[in-house]
Structure 1
Amino acid sequence: MPSHGSITKAGKVRSQTPKLEPKPRRYPIPRERNRLNYIKRVLNASPTTGE
C-alpha cells in the first residue's frame, strides 16, 4: 500500500522538540475532584433535603 511521504521521516519533529518539565498542578486532578464532590454532596447530605 503506498504511503504519503517517506516512512523514514516519521517522528522527526517530535524528536527535535525540546523536552519541557511538567508544570506543578494548581488544582486537584479530575478524578480526585469528582470524589471529593461526591463525598461532599452525597455522603454528607442530610436525609431531609429535597422535601
Structure 2
Amino acid sequence: MSKVCGSLACVVKVRGQTPKVAKQDKKKPHRRAYKRMQYNCRFVSTIVGFREKRGPNSS
C-alpha cells in the first residue's frame, strides 16, 4: 500500500488559506441540449393524475 502524503490537519490549514471565490453563473445549454432540456421539463417530469399541477405556468 502507498503512504498518504500529508495529514488531515494540513488539509484544513491549506483550505483555510485559499481565497474564497464566488461561484460563476452557469450558461444555458444551446441547440440540441436546449431542446432536450425543454422536452424533459415539459413531458418527462410531469405527473399524471389528480395531484398538484406542475409546469412553467401552473399557479
Query: TM-score, length-normalised on structure 2?
Result: 0.34
Higher RCO structure, 1 or 2 (CA under 8 Å, sep 6+): 2
Question: Larger Cα Rg: Structure 1 or Structure 2?
Answer: 1
Provide the TM-score with structure 1 as the length reference.
0.37
More helix by share: 1
